[in-house]
């Protein structure tokens, strides 16, 4: 079912479908509340209703069984994946992960959000990629773009050293071909590496 307009159950205003997040379980494929109302609800939950939810001492993550499950799920014991996030202007970011790809992409968004809110250390900052994220209207648009456009360009089995070497190889290879890269640096030990 496709609507030209939909009334938000939060603010009661009639809005365009683009102003709603998607929801596969609903008949019209859209959330009942608009993105703006959802944003307000999320902020209220984090600041007023349950501000300690993300606390390691008193919140959801205080339970050791929860952490065991999360640790096993995120464990980097899987195949090395080299991925590319392309953008409309021809620029691209190359990354690597041994965890599930959707977790790594979610981490990019979380890191970006935390840097913007001033919570994260500079180690999580990827200046050119985050500058590219700034061009989007909101976090949902960033999420949609990276989910729909990220592609795995290489896979192999190996340890962390092989993972970082393979990532550096792809960055240098694409740089040599004249591509506009959003990666800010290559580890020192791989800078002199010759790539065809």
Q: What is the pLDDT of residues 148-164, one digit of tens each?
A: 999 999 999 888 888 98
Q: Give the closest residue to 81 by CA, choosing from 141, 16, 162.
A: 162
Q: Residues 89-111: pLDDT tens digits?
A: 999 999 999 888 998 999 999 88
State the pLDDT confidence band at 29, using cuts at 50, 70 and 90. confident
Distance CA 11, CA 110 (A): 27
Residue 115 has pLDDT above 90, yes or no: no
**Co-location of 139 and 57 in the same domain:** no
Domain that residue 110 falls in:
77-190
**Co-location of 25 and 109 in the same domain:** no
Residue 143 has pLDDT above 90, yes or no: yes
List the 80-86 sheet strands across, edge first: 151-156, 80-86, 91-97, 180-181
**Co-location of 54 and 84 in the same domain:** no
Residue 3 has pLDDT above 60, yes or no: no
Residue 151 resides in a domain: yes
Residue 33 has pLDDT above 90, yes or no: yes
Average pLDDT over residues 39-49: 88
Distance CA 6, CA 19 (A): 9
Residue 118 resides in a domain: yes
Average pLDDT over residues 124-153: 92
Distance CA 23, CA 173 (A): 39
**What mean pLDDT is reported for the chain?**
85
Per-residue pLDDT at 121? 62
**Co-location of 57 and 89 in the same domain:** no
Q: Which CATH number fits the domain that encloses residue 36? A: 3.30.60
**Co-location of 51 and 82 in the same domain:** no
Average pLDDT over residues 32-41: 93
pTM of the model: 0.61
Number of domains in the chain: 2
Per-residue pLDDT at 1? 47
Residue 193 has pLDDT above 80, yes or no: no
Distance CA 16, CA 179 (A): 37
How many CB atoms neighbour CB 20 within 10 A? 24
Distance CA 107, CA 98 (A): 13
DSSP letters along the chain, please?
---S-EE-TTT--EE-GGGEEE-TTSTTSEEEEEHHHHHHHHHHIIIII-TTTT-TTTSGGG-HHHHHHHHHHH-S-S-EEEEEEE-TTSEEEEEEESS-HHHHHHHHHHHHHHHHTT-S-GGG--HHHHHHHTTSSSHHHHHHHHHHH-EEEEEE---HHHHHHHHHHHHHHHHHTT-EE------GGGTT----
């Amino acid at each position: 079912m496709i609507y030209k307009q939909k009334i938000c159950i939060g603010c009661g205003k009639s809005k365009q479908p683009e102003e709603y997040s998607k929801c596969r379980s609903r008949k019209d494929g859209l959330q009942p509340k608009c993105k703006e109302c959802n944003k307000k609800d999320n902020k209220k939950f984090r600041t007023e209703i349950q501000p300690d939810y993300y606390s390691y001492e008193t919140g959801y993550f205080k339970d050791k069984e929860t952490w065991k499950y999360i640790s096993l799920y995120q464990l980097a014991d899987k195949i090395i994946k080299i991925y590319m996030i392309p953008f409309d202007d021809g620029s691209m970011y190359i990354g690597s992960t041994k965890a599930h790809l959707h977790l790594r992409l979610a981490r990019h968004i979380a890191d970006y959000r935390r840097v913007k809110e001033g919570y994260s250390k500079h180690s999580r900052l990827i200046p050119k990629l985050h500058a590219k994220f700034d061009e989007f209207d909101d976090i949902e648009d960033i999420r949609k773009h990276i989910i729909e456009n990220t592609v795995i360009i290489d896979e192999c089995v190996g340890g962390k050293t092989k993972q970082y070497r393979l990532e550096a190889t792809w960055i240098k290879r694409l740089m040599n071909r004249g591509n506009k890269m959003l990666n800010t640096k290559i580890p020192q030990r791989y800078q002199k590496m010759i790539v065809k």
